[in-house]
Structure 1
Amino acid sequence: MNFLTIMIRKALSSDLTAIHSLTQDCAKAMIASGIHQWNEHYPTQERFEKDVQSGELYLYEENKHLIGIIVLTDFMDDEYISVKWLTNNHNNLYVHRVAVHPLYWGQGYAQQIMTFAKQYAKENQYQSIRLDTFSQNKRNQKFYEIRGYQRLDDIYFPKQSEHPFHCYELTL
């Protein structure tokens, strides 16, 4: 029998090269699709090093092969301060840098990663999950809206794009 081993685990420093390679492949594939969300300024290897050091970066692996990543944190970035969130700014989980290698797009891996995030939030008694997604990435917007996330205000990351990022929240 051939058994499939699926695991979501915290990333280690030894995973950084594979993580950076995955996100660079994602950036290239998005740009080829006309989505200029990630570039040479974001996400950086240094950003991922901080995510690993803080214990907030998780890997999705099948048979020890990296399929995707997600960052889960309770730290609210300054860009989010002006957003009119659905819940109070207390006990919220923030999702960042969700990525699935382009070879696996459209196969349900992002759904599994976000299911993990929701389960993690519930187990740790967060009141909501918050995230942002690029305004020019209509596929991502639909992905989150189908899962019950409500679109709220826009924020900007000038080093990434002149276009806004839509903020979303899912109350638990």
Structure 2
Amino acid sequence: MIRKGNLEDIDAIMHLTKACAKVMIANGIYQWNEHYPNKSAFRNDVKREELYILEINNAIKGTIVISTFMDKEYIPIKWLTKNENNIYIHRLAIHPELQGKGYAQQLMDFAKRYAIDNNYSSIRLDTFSQNKRNQKFYELRGYKRLGDIFFPKQSEYPFHCYELVL
């Protein structure tokens, strides 16, 4: 079941994202660390009603943020659509014990349905340049890579920006 996230979910989400970070680091992907993702970001997501949870057997096993807010880091990117009517995907995570079973696709399908139902022009996101699995995941779903941005607190490596025109 996918539902809106709330403040009571944040500790479980942090446990989930720490488990994901541990697996990524073990695989040489230094995308998430002690600075990101953090409780403050998830609290803000809840306040803006943009946090969604994947719940399986009453346990939080995945999360996604569907936002209408364009971060300043995205300004230099030459997007395929105007910066007026877009959604942005952040903090997509599936517990490592369930990765590779279609749950990330389920959350992305949910985001796409949300965007279509609400007449958005496109879905935008970024993914870490060192995370080839994520890049393939988005590219197989029709997302176009457009340029790079940097988050110095996360990594010295760039993050690739993607857009799917609806």
TM-score range, shorter chain: over 0.9
**Residue number among 97, 105, 116 corresponding to 1:103 in the alignment:** 97
1:46 Cα offset (Å): 1.1
Quote the Cα distance in structure 1 between the aligned partners of 2:26 and 2:151.
21
Superposition map of 1:109-124 within 5 A = 109-124=103-118
Matched, 1:160 2:154: yes
Matched, 1:16 2:18: no
Q: Which runs of 4+ in 1 moved over 6 A?
A: none
Question: Alpha-carbon deviations, 1:38-75, whole Å to 9, x = none?
Answer: 00010111111111111100001112111100000111
Aligned Cα root-mean-square deviation (Å): 0.6
Mind listing any 5+ residue stretches in structure 2 that lack a counterpart?
none
Quote the residue 1:133 is aligned against.
Answer: 127
1:122 Cα offset (Å): 0.3
Question: Alpha-carbon deviations, 1:52-102, whole Å to 9, x = none?
Answer: 111100001112111100000111000000000000101000000000000
Mind listing any 5+ residue stretches in structure 1 that lack a counterpart?
1-6
Superposition map of 1:1-172 within 5 A = 7-172=1-166
SS at match of 1:70: strand
Question: Alpha-carbon deviations, 1:84-128, whole Å to 9, x = none?
Answer: 000010100000000000011111110111000100000111000
Quote the Cα distance in structure 2 between the aligned partners of 1:14 and 1:65.
13
Quote the Cα distance in structure 1 between the aligned partners of 2:80 and 2:55.
33
User: TM-score by structure 2 length?
Assistant: 0.99
Q: How many residues align?
A: 166
Quote the Cα distance in structure 2 between the aligned partners of 1:121 and 1:157.
26
SS at match of 1:87: coil
